[in-house]
Structures are given as C-alpha cells and as structure tokens.
Structure 1
C-alpha cells in the first residue's frame, strides 16, 4: 500500500520508505512552505536520525527556514511550533506502529493537513520538479519551556498524595513524563522508561489491551493509585485504575468532560466512541460533535469549532489550552482532577450508566470481499427504521440507541467494526444479526 495516508505519511523503513524518498518529500514540503519557517523533530526509532537528516537537507535545498528541536515527543514538537511561532511542523515518527515503521506527521499553517494536502505532496515528490532556494538552519531546545508549561497546569492547594506507574514503552515520554510528574510531587514508579527505538518490552500501541499487561500487574504490585501507558511518540495515553484494570479512552474522556466542560462548550469525538461520552457531554450542558476517525479530522473540527475538548478511542485527548493533543498533558490533567477530588478513577465514573460495547474488531480481507461486505451493509441500511451515518464508512443507528459501524482500513487491506447496545443481551443479538446480514463471523470477536 502507498505510504501516503489520509492524515500523514507512513511505511516500512527500508522497503516503502528510505532516505531518498524522505528527501523528495522534504523538497515537496519546501515548495509548499515558500520560504517560511518549519519546526522539525523526530522520535527515538533507530532509523529516525537518518530519515530526519535527509528531510532537513531537502527542506534547506528548497529554501525553508528550519528550526531543529531534536529527538522529542510529538506533543513537544506541537508545543515548539506555538512557542517559536513557526508556520509549519514536521515530526519524523510512525507513532504507535511497530519499530520497523517510520513516517511523517505534518502541520502547515494553523490546521492539520487534509488528504488533498497529502496528495499534493505526493504529486510534487513523484514529479521530481522542485523549487530551489537558500534555507536557514537553527537548533533550539524547547524542553524546559515545554515542561514548565506542563507544570503550570497543575493546581495549587491541599494535595492528596498520589502514586502513579508510568509505562513509557521505551518511547518518547521515557524521561520527560517521570521528571514532570515527580516535579509535581507525585510518587512515580517507572516501567520501560528508557529510550529504545526497537521497543523491546512491548508494542508501542497502548490502545491494544494485551500491551498493557505489565502495567496492570505493576499497578497492583506497588499499590499505585493509577497507571498510564504512552505510545511511541507520546501523543496517546491509556489510563489504568488502582485495581490494574484499563480504562476505555471514552471513560477517560467522561472524566475530563465532567471536570472541564461548561454549559455551551463543545466536545468533538470520533464515531467509534461509546455513547457514554455523548451522554456525559450533554449532561454537562455541552454540545457533542461526532466526527470521522483520524487525528487530523478530529483536530481540525476541534479547532474550527473552538471546542473545549476532543478525543478518540485510540487515546488521543485534545485540550483547548494546547490547541491540540498531548498524552502527558492528559496525565497532568488527570492527576490534578484526582488530587482535587480525592477520589479514585473508578470513583469518578460511578455515575456512568454503562452500555455493552465491543472492542474495535479488525479483519484482514481481499479488496473484493470488503466491497461485498459494504454492499450488504448498504442493503441493510435501506431497511425501515434505521439511520445511516456516512461520515466515515457506514454507521447504522437503531431506535433503541444501538449502532453498528463498518469502516475500511486506510493502512492495510482490512475492515473494522464496532457495535454498541444498551445491554449485553441486545449486543449479543446485534452481533448475530450483523454477522448474518454481512456474511461475517462475529461469534468470537
């Protein structure tokens, strides 16, 4: 599959993506910059330095003004863009993907890039026709300013002592997160908090529950108040309660919404989220806005709507203060909420009326088989009493609040599904019906 995705550029290093290709991408981006300033950083994967060097060299050849902030988390890169008042930002990273992957997260102007922006970069890179210029290069350390910003978000006053286990997964938050939380007075137990771009201890995606097993055990072992796991570049965070049970990202968003959203403020969420989040926002007097899945789509709508919060089931949390997302900012905010309330994570969720919901069901399949499944979903959508939402795939909504979502994967030949219903019995029936309607075995999802 192409390395040019809807929201970013990503591929397997040495196969889909090499320094030569990254150089062409850099020249293409330089053409869009037209001599303006861009902040460049990279994560801690083993091949990031060479890809970053090729990208920066190409930017300079294209006349860009480059601020190099070094190997940093993606949230620190976003902070650096605001702090340095740069036009663009570029992070060499493959985020939560396995270590063999790498890529580019890009922002030009005040809004995330759209699929048409990625297509233009692809067209320019593949054409080989580039504008030349004389760029400028500066190295700058924004780490202290970034950490000061994070510390300033933690409230003052009576402090309930908190103990947190931080699982950085050997990624970009390995040193920054423990240092910031200890500076705020928390007791920190470190887990996989040393940089290693091969990710030897766990896969860098914390949204997959099996990747949280060591964190869950450690939280119980040391009797911590809670735990957190970051992804490879630090913009995602998944929380674990004191019993060693992971929270859904929607549950964390409910806590944020209950604590931060005021009447009239909006919250953007991806259409895979459980309805518990929508209800929490509405109960707070807020406005709940559904958007298609994908970091760029969520962030763009969040910025355009001037929303208080936004979130995805993958563990991205967006805050108005940042104009974006940050896994460590989410941790600081969660710790502050716990400090002020004197309650546990589960205690903060005790008023939630839970539904029955599946995890994200992902199935590999040939393209023609996926097309057939979508045709059957369209047939189902034509039945009376159903509402079809098509902002991202097809989401069928039922009068009792149940829904079935079918989406195409943008990274591999596969489809994904998620289903929600008011009760377990209804979910079981919905799974059976969906399996029959679509010709898909959902008996052991």
Structure 2
C-alpha cells in the first residue's frame, strides 16, 4: 500500500484525517504493529492496549486499528476514552506487551494520529520501530496466523490512573486554593475531575466539554494566545493560580496569581527538588533547550543533572538508561518513574506544586520570584533550506565558545547560551537563547537571528 512517510514523526504518528490518517492506514498499522512486536516477543501471546482521545475521527480509527490487531492474533484491552497519561498507565497496569492510542495530541482538529509504545509504556519512534513498521505496511508483509485475537473492554482506567498518580505524589498538606483551570476541550478534563474529587479546592472550570473540534481555542497552552481568557478570569476572580492542559492531556502549564505563565523550566526545577527530597542524590533529566534554572535547582538540592535531546521518547529513554527518578521537557512534559513505567504525570505534578505552595505560605508569584534568574528569548523558528550548512556557519562564528552537539548545536558563553537544532520533519531551525540579563539576551538573540537569516 502507499504510505505517507511524513506522518511518521520522531516521537509519534500524526497527519491529516483526510487522505493521510485514514481507516485503511489504521487497519494496516494494527497489522504492522503486531508483525513488528511479534519479532520482539517470539512465542508470546500478545496483549495490546488500545485507547482514543476525543477527536471526531478517533472512534472509527480505533475500530479499524483493532481489526488489524486482532486479525494478526493479538488480544486487545480496549480502555476507551482516555488521556495519554492514563493510556500509558494502562499498558503497565494491565501488563500488556504494548499499546496504541489514537490521538494527534495538541494538533488542530483536522489532524489525527497514534502514540505507540512497548511494554511499560516504552515509546516507539522514528528510529526505534517506526521505520520497520512503515516498511511492513508498504510491503504488506504482515504476520499470517489462524489465531483471532479477543477484545476485552476495560473499565475505569482514567480513575485508576489518577488514583495512582495521587498516591505517588505523597500526602503532604494542601490548603484550599482557588484555581482556574482550562482543559481546552481536551482530555485533561478527565483526570482533573478525578483529582478535584480528592482534594478540597475551589475550582472554576473553563472549556471543559471534551470536543475534538476545539471550538474555543487551539488546545496548545504553549501558545500564549490560548491562555488569554483564562488569565483574564484568574485576575477577575483573584484566584491563587491557573492550570492549562493540552489536547491529549500529557502537557501541563501553570499560571501564577498575577496572571503570568510560570516558565516550565522553573516548574521542572521545583518538581526536581521535591523528588530529590524523596530520593536524595538521584539523577534528574532535562532537555537541551536553554532553561538553566533547572540545572541550578537540581544541583542546589544535591541532585545529578542529566542533559538529554529534545523529545518525550528520547528523555524517557535516557531516564531508563541513567536511572533517573524524574525528568522534564521545556514544552510542559513532566515525567515520573512510576511502578507502571516512565511517563508524564500531570496529576502528580499538580499535587506537588500545591503542596509546595501550601508549605511555603507564599503566593505563587512570591514563591517563584527568586527563580527568575535568567532572561529567555522563547523558541523562534526559521525556514532554512540547508540546515546543516547554516549550523556550520554558526559553529564557525562562535568557535571560541563552549560548543556541544548533543541535539543540534549548543553554544555557551559565561553570560549567555543558546541552542539551534534542526526540525526532524521540516526545513526549520529552532533557536532558543538565554542570558544573565535582558540587554544581553536581546543583543545576542538579534546577532544569532541575523546570522541565521543571512544564511537562509
């Protein structure tokens, strides 16, 4: 069959619902997944978890996915409508050999896709399974078997997943906060409802109906424009904090009592310190994009910082490799080493932030104020046809700096540092710079921008 190669991303599968992520694609993907997983688990009767998000095309894609899985002999645990963290939980909880979730994460409504894992929610990705599965689909070299898989409906996974995250967070005191929460019509509403049944807080819910057409705004809180209404409401109601989640619920953002988005690097550092109190001296992973406050807070708490490439699957892989207890990505992913696997724990993160606020006796803005030590450009994307040539020019221009090529190019001077990395799927360079003061940030940001633009 013809397979659009570009839908196989570095960390998941995503494409347009019309013409790319079709019923035929889902059916073939199910068959290819069993064929691939059988080679990794010879002689094992495969058990595979399947779930879906709230997008309009997700239920029918799930139906054809399951058809492909069962025709190739896999038994399916169908967990229904779930957030991505609950799906990850279910794979470990049900002791399955793997799983697939129908979701396009925070992408707009016209997209859909799949998040694919092995046992204990270990992700598949571009070079760790997707290439082989894509080839199997193209060549139609599917496993042939007389065994017909059985589908078992599994109830209450969202509630069990939330309960597991709550238990893992610890039982420190949480006072009664006033919180504004915007789920962006995404899956976060599901676990947030489960959480708010367990803790005594005053909650104002916004855009709560799970609706894959996203009628109010794009379900991507990394974009500040999606937070405008929530921040306005927060100020009007004099709330203590705001929380925003993305389409499939695996990313979470916090807003302080003044209506300011708390930088994910600060949240990551605060959560790292919480985990280091529980696991003294342990390793904490964080991605290569500038966010030096995370490293500062890890080291100040006696932890071991471990720098990773960008991408949830790559961070999780390094966490397994180095035995890290916690990890975080600059885009709002926060990972915990749960008994059921290493994956995002938004409920755990919320509880631990509320516990920290309670213990401090401070407002959110007062608590985080000391952590704004550096000045950040934000991520800036540039269309560049020859990405490697542009990186080479930057390397020459900053040859006297401390250079690192873990993921793209990281350039470090005493007063500023930046990372430029190529997109895996587009003709883009992604640039982020941080400095010790605003003037240095702006000056050095503009110099790098000029260099990139002159090369493109």
Q: TM-score, normalized by length of structure 1? A: 0.93
| Displacement after TM superposition at 1:69 (Å) | 0.1
Aligned with residue 445 of structure 2, among 413, 431, 435: 431
Tell me the equivalent position of 1:387.
402
Q: Please, which of 191, 206, 209 is the counterpart of residue 194 of structure 1?
A: 209
1:372-420 deviation per Cα after TM superposition (whole angstroms, max 9, x unaligned): 4223123224x2x31221121111122x152121112224332210011
Aligned to 1:358: 377
CA distance in 2, matches of 1:415, 1:297: 19
CA positional deviation for 1:207? 0.9
In structure 1, what is the Cα distance between the partners aligned to 2:250 and 2:136?
29
**Where do 1:258-277 residues align within 5 Å?**
258-262=273-277, 263-277=280-294
Report matched runs for 1:102-251 at 5 Å.
Answer: 102-110=112-120, 111-116=122-127, 117-133=129-145, 134-141=148-155, 142-153=157-168, 156=171, 159-251=174-266
Equivalent-residue separation in structure 1 for 2:233 and 2:29 (angstroms): 42
2:24 paired with 1:20: yes
Tell me if structure 2 keeps the 8 A contact 1:163–1:188. yes
| 1:396 match: secondary structure | strand
Q: Do the aligned partners of residues 157 and 73 (structure 1) sit closer, same or farther apart at CA in structure 2, a change above 3 Å counting?
A: closer
CA-to-aligned-CA distance 1:217-248 (integer Å, 9 cap, x gap) = 11112111111100000010000011111111
Where does residue 46 of structure 1 map in the other structure? 56
CA deviation vs aligned residue, 1:179-230 (integer Å, no higher than 9, x gap): 4224311111100111110011111111111111111111112111111100
Among 431, 443, 448, the alignment partner of 1:417 is 431
Q: Which runs of 4+ in 1 moved over 6 A?
A: none
- Displacement of 1:163 in angstroms is 1.4
Asked if 2 retains the 8 angstrom alpha-carbon contact of 1:268 and 1:288, the reply is yes
Q: Is contact 2:235-2:259 (8 Å) kept?
A: yes
Q: Post-superposition shift, 1:290?
A: 0.8
The equivalent residue for 2:42 is none
CA–CA separation in structure 2 for the residues paired with 1:150 and 1:304: 23
CA contact (8 A) 1:175 1:194 kept: no
Cα distance in structure 2, aligned partners of 1:104 and 1:371: 30
Q: How many Å apart are 1:327 and its aligned residue?
A: 2.2
Q: Distance in 2 between matches of 1:405 and 1:157?
A: 38
- Describe the SS at the equivalent of 2:370: coil
Instruction: Please report how far the alpha carbon of residue 352 of structure 1 lies from its aligned counterpart in structure 2 after TM superposition.
Output: 2.2
Aligned pairs for 1:88-103 within 5 A: 88-103=98-113
Q: CA deviation at 1:274?
A: 1.0
Corresponding residue of 1:378: 395
Question: 1:336 maps to what in 2?
Answer: 355
Q: Would you say the 8 A contact 2:174–2:354 is kept in 1?
A: no
Question: How far, CA to CA, are the matches of 1:258 and 1:181 in structure 2?
Answer: 25
> What displacement does 1:436 show?
3.9
| Alpha-carbon distance in structure 2 between the residues aligned to 1:441 and 1:222 | 49
Residue in 1 that maps onto 2:312: 295
Q: Matches of residues 56-75 of structure 1 in structure 2 within 5 Å?
A: 56-75=66-85
Deviations 1:103-132 (A, max 9, x none): 111111343224221111111111111112
Deviation, structure 1 residue 151: 3.7
Question: Which secondary structure does the structure 2 equivalent of 1:261 belong to?
Answer: helix
Q: 5+ unaligned residues in a row in structure 2: which ranges?
A: 39-44
SS of 1:17's equivalent in the other structure is coil
Shift of 1:82: 1.6
Q: How many residues end up aligned between the 2 structures?
A: 437
Contact 1:151–1:184 (Cα < 8 Å) also in 2: no
More moved, 151-160 vs 413-422: 151-160
The 3-state SS of whatever aligns with 1:188 is: strand
SS of the aligned residue for 1:82 comes to helix
CA offset at residue 256 of structure 1? 1.0
- The aligned residue for residue 281 of structure 1 is 298
Cα deviation for residue 65 of structure 1 reads 1.5
TM-score (norm 2): 0.91
Q: Which moved more, 1:192-201 or 1:314-323?
A: 314-323
| CA 1:259–1:158: 2 relative to 1, 3 Å | closer
Q: Name the SS of the counterpart of 1:169 in structure 2.
A: coil
1:337-384 Cα offsets, whole Å, 9 max, x none, are 22333332223223325111111101234x24x344223123224x2x
User: 1:160·1:340 contact (CA, 8 Å) conserved in 2?
Assistant: no
Using the alignment, how far apart are the partners of 1:6 and 1:154 within structure 2?
Answer: 30
